[in-house]
Chains A and B, each alone.
Chain A
Amino acid sequence: MAESPTGPSGEQPDPDNVRRIHRLVRMMQQYDLTAIDLVEGPTTIRLRRRTEAALPGPSHAAPALPAPTQAAAPLPGPSAAAPSAAPTAPPPAPEVDGLLIESPMVGTYYQSSAPDAPPFVTVGATVRPETTVCIIEAMKVFTEIPAGVSGRIAEILVQDKQPVEFGQPLFRVVPS
């Protein structure tokens, strides 16, 4: 059985929470925050980031967004998710500059609003959080995907009309 894009409760990590953690992790990177505590009803999300000095490897390495399953593991409850690298001194991570924009759902990736329209973004384009970068179609619902970050598109990681999975990286963005 394929993974659910909607995550009925109890079966899978709640994609909303996974997505929220991804956003928070990006925000921590973007604004250079070292800690975020978010309490909403029974759910507590605590994120801690090492300071730049303590980080092994290249100081501006990618934030290494955790895979959805890892990110969702600590939920719910007052536990910590560390978005940084592994706790023991790891071998230097493969150097990837920038942030990743990931697919929020299972579906088909479209680079433009219509077959004859220009792509929403191309490599080198500057995006803001609200900039539409692509459309994901799932069950004939066409969803415009916002960048969620500010920066410059460094790489497009998928091809037009390609099926994509939940959490699959779509773009690499060099933050501004």
Chain B
Amino acid sequence: MNDRPLPWPVRRLDEVDSTNDLARRLATGSDGSARPPLVLRADRQTRGRGRGANAWWSDEGSLTFSALLDPTAIGLLDRHTPLCSLAAAVAVVDAISPRVDRGRLAIRWPNDVEIDGRKVAGILPERINGPEGPRLIIGIGLNVRTRLDDASAEVRRMAGSLAEFAGIPLEPDDQEAIFADLIELLRGSLQLLSEDAADLSRRWAELDQLLGRPVRVDLGRKIVAGIGAGIGPDGGLRIDTGSGPQTVYGGRVLRDG
């Protein structure tokens, strides 16, 4: 098993600081070079990223990788770039749903995948200006068989691992199969995005964790609070506030709802 051909070449590394940072260094030529498409997969990340306090807990039971892509070559325009989080989140859901036997799979807008409100995957896309044009880096961390015993109580409360929600114990081979599925599904999801496919935006709308729930989004200078009213085809999060509907495209969803 695990020999099935993948749509993109994969470079597997024992340990890196962050696969997104490595992809950036390769794309800008500051650390060797690499031509997209290329998937950089690390067995261990020492400095997995997430802006601010979003530390990512990972061990050998986690899948951590970054896809380095040429957006132009896969038909993605500038306006598609902000939608890469949601497109990748749909791919993650589709990759893990066959293994989830209990719990509700959902997307916490805009870049987390949760089961029963606990985060099992995080997505960090970036678009950089390389010497040979723009490059898209989509970093994904997915807890498959991650042991959270050693994590802090706060991490354990907010984060989960796929194995906790699977009907059968997940083996290393399952983890490899999920990785292969995810790469294939990510490629397919980005293709749908490049086609402006309504099927894709319908999926992220259906998977909206915040729909109908109290939500607060910190926009830096103000906080928009209300009830989640859906994720639009343009990726914006609609919020019914006391003073009418509002759509946000940025900011940070506060975990306390």
Q: Which of B55-63, B76-84, B175-183 contacts A (4 or more CB under 8 A)?
A: B76-84
Residues 166-197 of chain B, each 1 if its beta carbon lies under 8 Å from chain A, else 0:
00000000000000000000000000000010
Q: How far is the CA of A1 from the CA of B247 in the complex (A)?
A: 6
Contacting pair B110 A140 (CB below 8 A): yes
A8 contact from B131, B234, B245, Cβ within 8 A: B234
Contacting pair B220 A162 (CB below 8 A): yes
Q: Which of A31-39, A73-81, A100-108 contacts B (4 or more CB under 8 A)?
A: A100-108
* Distance from A55 Cβ to chain B, minimum over Cβ atoms (Å): 31
In the assembled complex, A15 has its CB within 8 A of some CB on chain B: yes
- Closest-by-CB residue of A relative to B88 is A141
Which residues of B lie under 8 Å from residue A119 when comparing CB positions? none
Which residues of B lie under 8 Å from residue A140 when comparing CB positions? 85, 110-111, 123-125
Task: Please judge, given known A-B contacts A144-B128, A163-B250, whether A107 and B219 are in contact too, CB under 8 Å.
Answer: no
Contacting pair A163 B220 (CB below 8 A): yes
In the assembled complex, A70 has its CB within 8 A of some CB on chain B: no
Contacting pair B79 A6 (CB below 8 A): yes
- Closest-by-CB residue of B relative to A19 is B78
In the assembled complex, A137 has its CB within 8 A of some CB on chain B: yes
In the assembled complex, A2 has its CB within 8 A of some CB on chain B: yes
Contacting pair B84 A141 (CB below 8 A): yes
In the assembled complex, A168 has its CB within 8 A of some CB on chain B: no
Q: How far is the CA of A161 from the CA of B78 in the complex (A)?
A: 21
B250 contact from A8, A19, A104, A107, Cβ within 8 A: A107
Contacting pair B245 A1 (CB below 8 A): yes
Contacting pair B84 A106 (CB below 8 A): no
Most B Cβ at <10 Å: residue of A104, A138, A163: A138
Residues facing B in A87-109 (CB within 8 A) are 104-108
In the assembled complex, A146 has its CB within 8 A of some CB on chain B: yes
Q: How far is the CA of A104 from the CA of B78 in the complex (A)?
A: 8
Contacting pair B236 A4 (CB below 8 A): yes
In the assembled complex, B36 has its CB within 8 A of some CB on chain A: no
Task: Please judge, given known A-B contacts A5-B249, A8-B233, A106-B249, whether A139 and B127 are in contact too, CB under 8 Å.
Answer: no
**Interface residues in chain B, defined as those with a beta carbon under 8 Å from any beta carbon in chain A:** 51-52, 77-86, 109-111, 123-129, 131, 196, 219-221, 232-236, 238, 245-251
**Interface residues in chain A, defined as those with a beta carbon under 8 Å from any beta carbon in chain B:** 1-2, 4-9, 15-16, 19, 104-108, 115, 130, 132, 137-144, 146, 161-163
What are 6 A-to-B residue pairs whose CB atoms are below 8 Å?
Answer: A6-B235, A107-B250, A138-B250, A140-B124, A142-B51, A144-B127
